[in-house]
Amino acid sequence: MRLDKFLKISRLIKRRTVANEACDAGRVTVNGKVAKASQAVKASDIIEIQFGNKAVKVEVLDVTETAKKEEARELYRYI
């Protein structure tokens, strides 16, 4: 699954366009490397997102095409 789509489905970032912009600005890393929005994401990947002066680091637990709001939290865990 594409990184921007995973960020939206998991609700880490609310909209896919915002996820694209964050990736283009170099604020998203996957496994320690700056990632493009089109990068493939799989289970066990580590994603880090810079929100201003705050950083969020999560491990991908599952990749699914759709998720309800309640299930979105089960797609990752905070590190």
Range of the domain at 74: 3-78
- pTM of model > 0.95: no
Under the banding of pLDDT at 50, 70 and 90, the label for residue 57 is very high
The whole-number pLDDT of residue 54 equals 94
Q: What is the pLDDT of residue 30?
A: 97
Mean pLDDT of 18-39: 96
CATH number of the domain within which 22 lies:
3.10.290.10
Query: Tens of pLDDT along 29-49?
Result: 999 999 999 999 999 999 999
The structural domain count of the chain equals: 1
> Per-residue b/e over 60-69, b at no fewer than 16 CB within 10 Å?
beebeeebee
Contacts of 62 (CB under 8 A, 6+ apart): 43, 74, 75
Question: How confident is the model over 51-73, as a mean pLDDT?
Answer: 92
Q: Check residue 78 and give its pLDDT.
A: 95
